[in-house]
A and B are shown apart, each in its own frame.
Chain A
Amino acid sequence: MKIKSLRDLPQEIAPPRDLWPGIAAHIAPSADAVKASDVAAARPAAGRIVRLRWLAAAAALACLAVGMWIDRSLLPFPGKVEGGALTVSTKGAAGPALDVSYVPDARYQRQRAALLASLQARLNELPPETRTKVLASLATIGKAKEDLERALGKNPGDALLQELLVNTYQDEMRVLIDVHTASNSGEGI
């Protein structure tokens, strides 16, 4: 093959052998040594505060909210941000290409629908700046979910992608719960 620009030369060259086992052998001890407590201790103070806020909010929402994000079998269905308002999709959380374990059950869907129905009212109680912030966060999280779902569509059995998707659902829940907490206390987020 002939080329005319040096930029056309391949930037990626596959290593002749899989180098990961050698890397894994070096990093495995440190990976194993990282315990949950170490991770928590290493988390920035702001992160701990966010987590504490979330825990407080979760307690206020009692078993409803806590059960929602802890239980992986109970996944939310996607909310959609349009024109500054939150609209609720009644479709299941999982696209057709996703693993069947991602489909939420009916009880969860009812609980989720109730929470999201009150969310719009909660948003209306918040200052405009905070509302904009929340909607931007939800939109970005929605984009992340779409990307992950698309990736899972290509590789449905990928456990890591599934886990990241669940994490993203959890992140969305944290934002939603923060909204409830903030609108109750009259504070911004």
Chain B
Amino acid sequence: MTQAQAQSGEIDWEAGLVQRARAGDARAFERIYREHSGRVYGLCLRMTRDVQLAEDCTQETFINAWRALGRFETRSTLGTWLHRIAVNVSLSKRRKSGPVESLPDDDTGAIGDWTLETPVEVREIEAAIDALPDGARDALVLHALYGYSHDEAAQMLGLAEGTCKAQLHRARRLLRDRLGMEVLSA
């Protein structure tokens, strides 16, 4: 740890783990895995809808992260960085198993926090999300569940921001149809 790092307030023990993992310490990297595997697996599972594929994606995410640790910039959070890798891996694996749909780049305006008219059972909403087409589900998961902005979600998915918003608009319409209630966005 240098004084410059100390001054910029970047000293925390996760940064210490990253530093040690960069130097080849697999034990430190295992700690990073233990800390982040749930969020990475959760995202992979929602994007792939397949337990085996999600496991593969999670493993590949951390293997790729290990190889790319030298390029990790500490100004972004480790969790977000891992999510970016997980999205890339999940999209790549999914492309191998089928065609990727695309939507026209039409901007449907800002979509914020997603709430339901009345409370719904978790398993019911999870099933409704699972049933969404891939593109709409990807955008919904990143934006409405994991809280990434339109711009961040679009970048992660390799889409134009307008396309990402269109996918979200589509997701909302489909969820409304499946749940039989309006899905409100603030």
Contacts and interface: CB of A to CB of B under 8 A. Distances in A.
Interface of A: 1-7, 9-17, 19-20, 22-24, 26-28, 30-34, 38-39, 42, 46-47, 50, 133-134, 136-138, 140-141, 143-144, 147-148, 151, 160-161, 164, 167-168, 171, 174-175, 178, 189
A144 B5 CA distance: 12
B59 interface: yes
Contact of A30 (B9, B11, B24, B33): B24
A27 B30 CA distance: 11
B145 A160 contact: no
B164 to A, nearest CB: 16
B37 A31 contact: no
A39 B23 CA distance: 6
Contacts of B147: 7
Contact of A12 (B16, B42, B116): B42
Interface string B52-67: 0011001100110011
B119 interface: yes
Contact of B28 (A46, A138, A144, A160): A160
B129 to A, nearest CB: 8
B3 A189 contact: yes
Contact of A19 (B6, B58, B67): B58
Tell me the dominant secondary structure on chain B's binding face. Answer: helix
Interface stretch (B85-93, B101-109, B120-128): B120-128
Given A2-B122, A19-B59, A137 B6 contact: yes
A137 B26 contact: no
B18 to A, nearest CB: 12
Given A13-B42, A15-B41, A30-B67, A3 B120 contact: yes
A47 B2 contact: yes
Contact of B37 (A2, A10, A19, A147): A19
A140 B42 contact: no
A12 B39 contact: yes
B146 interface: yes
